[in-house]
Amino acid sequence: MIKLENIIYQLSNLHQLTFEVTDACNLRCKYCGYGEFYDDYDKRENKMMSVDAALKLIDYLAALWNSEQNSSAKRNVYISFYGGEPLLNMPFIETIVRYMERLDCPHRSFTFSMTTNALLLHRDMDFLVKHRFNTLISLDGNEYNTSYRLDKAGYPAFPRVIKNVNVLREKYPDYFEQYVDFNAVLHNRNSVEEIYRFIKDKYNKTPSIGELNNMGIRPDKVELFQQTYRNSSESLHQSEHYEAIEQDMFMKTGSYQSVAIFLHQYGGSTYRDYTDLLFDSTAVKHIPTGTCLPFGKKMFVTVNGKILPCERIGHQFALGSVSEAGVQLDMQAIADKYNAYYDKMERQCSKCHNTRACIQCVFNLVDLESNPVCYGFMNKQDFEAYKAAQMDFLRKHPEDYYRIMEEVIVE
The count of residues interacting with ligand SF4 (CB under 6 A) is: 23
Applying CB under 6 A, which of residues 310, 389, 394, 408 lies at the interface with ligand SF4?
310
Q: Is 363 in the site for ligand SF4 (CB under 6 A)?
A: yes
Output DSSP code: residue 297: S
Longest Cα–Cα distance of the chain, Å, equals 62
CA distance 381 to 390: 14
Q: Is 334 in the site for ligand SF4 (CB under 6 A)?
A: no
CA distance 320 to 318: 6
Q: Is 51 in the site for ligand SF4 (CB under 6 A)?
A: no
Q: Which part of the chain contacts ligand SF4 (CB under 6 A), choosing from 74-82, 129-137, 284-292, 323-331? A: 284-292
* Per-residue binder mask for ligand SF4 (CB under 6 A), 124-163, x = binder: ----------------------------------------
Applying CB under 6 A, which of residues 376, 382, 403, 405 lies at the interface with ligand SF4?
376
Q: Is 312 in the site for ligand SF4 (CB under 6 A)?
A: yes
Q: Is 309 in the site for ligand SF4 (CB under 6 A)?
A: yes
Residue whose CB is less far from ligand SF4, 55 or 368: 368
Residue whose CB is less far from ligand SF4, 84 or 288: 288
H/E element, 266: helix 254-266
CA distance 25 to 28: 7
Applying CB under 6 A, which of residues 348, 383, 401, 403 lies at the interface with ligand SF4?
348
Q: Which part of the chain contacts ligand SF4 (CB under 6 A), choosing from 150-158, 182-190, 355-363, 395-403? A: 355-363
Residue whose CB is less far from ligand SF4, 131 or 312: 312
Q: Which part of the chain contacts ligand SF4 (CB under 6 A), choosing from 250-258, 261-269, 343-351, 382-390? A: 343-351
Q: Is 289 in the site for ligand SF4 (CB under 6 A)?
A: yes
Spell out a b/e string for 286-318, using b for 16 or more CB atoms within 10 Å of the CB, else e: ebbbbbeebbbbbbbbbbbbbbbbbbebbbebb
Output DSSP code: residue 333: H
Q: Where are the beta strands (DSSP E) in 12-141?
A: 16-20, 75-82, 108-116, 134-138
Number of Cβ within 10 Å of residue 348's Cβ equals 17
Q: Is 82 in the site for ligand SF4 (CB under 6 A)?
A: no
Tell me phi and psi for residue 190, to 5 degrees: -150, -175
Using only C-alpha atoms, what is the Rg of the chain?
22
Tell me phi and psi for residue 118, to 5 degrees: 70, 5
Q: Is 314 in the site for ligand SF4 (CB under 6 A)?
A: no
Binding site for ligand SF4 (CB under 6 A): 288-292, 297, 309-310, 312-313, 345, 348-349, 352, 354-355, 358, 360-361, 363, 374, 376-377
